[in-house]
Chain A
Amino acid sequence: DSGVTQTPKHLITATGQRVTLRCSPRSGDLSVYWYQQSLDQGLQFLIQYYNGEERAKGNILERFSAQQFPDLHSELNLSSLELGDSALYFCASSVASVNTEAFFGQGTRLTVV
C-alpha cells in the first residue's frame, strides 16, 4: 500500500459526459501529480500541484482540469468525454524535495462508451 488513495477504482460513462477523479496523497506529501496511461500513448504526465498551486503542466487537454484543495487532496475533472479518453488515470504524491520519489495510487480506470 503506497498510502495514495484514488477513487473510484472504475468508472464507466458515456461520451460527452463529465467525471471527477479524486486523489488523497500520502500523509505529509505536498505535491500531487496526475498521469494518464493508455495503450497508444503510454504513461503521460498531465499536471502537478504543489501545496494548492499548479506547478507544472504536461500534455493535458483543455477539456481536462485539476485542482488541489487546502486539505491537499486533488481532483481531476474530465469533461466532454470522448472514446479516446478511456485510460487508466494515476495520481502520485511526493514530498517534492530534490531527491525523493513519487508514490503512486492504484489508479482509476475510466471507460468511455
Chain B
Amino acid sequence: AQSVTQLGSHVSVSEGALVLLRCNYSSSVPPYLFWYVQYPNQGLQLLLKYTTGATLVKGINGFEAEFKKSETSFHLTKPSAHMSDAAEYFCAVRRIQGAQKLVFGQGTRLTINP
C-alpha cells in the first residue's frame, strides 16, 4: 500500500525566507508524485508533478521539488516566501499503473510572517 508522510503539520517562515516543506512516501514501486496547494475556502490546485525524466521539477508560483528515489522523498521548496504563499500544501502519490487514485499526506499549513 502507498502512504505519504508530511513532516510538520505547521510551518512558519518570514517573508523572503526559504520555504521547505517535507514529503516522504512509501510505495512498493516508484510512483508519480504531486504537490497540491489549497487556499482558504478553495479547491486543490496542482503546483507541480513528477512522472518521469528530470528529478528536479519546477511548478507554478516559483515552487520546485526534487524527487530523490534513494530517500523516498519529494520535498517542496521556494527560495523566497511571499505573503500570498500562505496556504495548506498537500503531497500526494499515485500508482503509475492500475488505480489512479491519489493518496495524500496530512497536509502542511504554511504561515508567512511579515
Contact = CB atoms under 8 A, between A and B. Distances in A.
Interface of A: 2, 4, 31, 33, 35, 42-45, 48, 55-56, 58, 90, 92, 94, 96, 98-99, 101-107
Q: Name the interface size band of chain B.
A: 20 to 34
A99 B104 contact: no
14 contacts: A4-B43, A31-B100, A33-B102, A43-B90, A43-B107, A58-B101, A90-B43, A90-B44, A94-B100, A99-B51, A99-B52, A102-B100, A104-B44, A106-B43
B74 interface: no
Contact of A56 (B46, B96, B101): B101
Contacts, number: 55
A86 to B, nearest CB: 16
* Those 9 A-B pairs whose CB atoms lie nearest each other, nearest first: A43-B104, A104-B44, A99-B51, A45-B101, A106-B43, A104-B43, A56-B99, A42-B106, A101-B46
| Main SS class of interface, A | strand
Interface of B: 32, 34, 36, 41-46, 49, 51-52, 90, 96-97, 99-107
A96 B100 contact: yes
B49 A98 contact: no
Nearest to B50: A99
Contacts of B99: 48, 55-56
A104 B90 contact: no
Contacts of A94: 100
Nearest to B52: A99
Contacts of B107: 42-43
Given A43-B107, A106-B42, 10 more contacts: A31-B100, A33-B100, A35-B102, A42-B104, A45-B101, A55-B99, A101-B34, A105-B43, A106-B41, A106-B43
